[in-house]
């Protein structure tokens, strides 16, 4: 499912009075709130759905698959999602 299909699904769940634009605004608002919550608190937990958290990746050595040359990969941050029990059950 892509974003456009998700918007259509949200529109169906909201009912006949909801427009596609309204469903898209609702989805964008939720996504923006998740991003802001993770950025501010480093963790966002939605009971029954899952937990978004920031993880630190250490600097490491990798290999360029084309040249087989060793390269240094910088330390970085990534977002991790762990599904909640209700979400896993479905």
CB-CB contact of 84 with 47 (8 Å): yes
Residues 33 and 60 in one domain: no
Distance from C-alpha of 75 to C-alpha of 90, rounded to nearest angstrom: 35
Q: pLDDT at residue 90 above 90?
A: no
If one counts the domains in the chain, the total is 2
Q: Which residues span the domain enclosing 82? A: 54-90
Asked if residue 68 belongs to a domain, the reply is yes
Asked if residue 11 belongs to a domain, the reply is yes
Give the pLDDT confidence of 46-88 residue by residue, as tens digits. Answer: 998 999 999 999 999 999 999 999 999 999 999 999 999 889 8
Residues 61 and 36 in one domain: no
Residues 33 and 1 in one domain: yes
Give the pLDDT confidence of 1-13 residue by residue, as tens digits. Answer: 999 999 999 999 9
Asked if residue 15 belongs to a domain, the reply is yes
């Amino acid at each position: 499912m892509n974003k456009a299909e998700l918007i259509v699904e949200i529109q169906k769940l909201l009912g006949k009075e909801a427009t596609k634009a309204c469903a898209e605004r609702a989805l964008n608002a939720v996504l923006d709130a998740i991003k802001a919550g993770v950025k501010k608190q480093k963790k966002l937990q939605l009971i029954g759905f899952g937990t978004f958290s920031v993880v630190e990746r250490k600097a490491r050595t990798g290999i360029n698959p084309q040249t087989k040359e060793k390269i240094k990969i910088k330390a970085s941050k990534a977002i991790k999602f762990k599904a909640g029990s209700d979400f896993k059950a479905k």
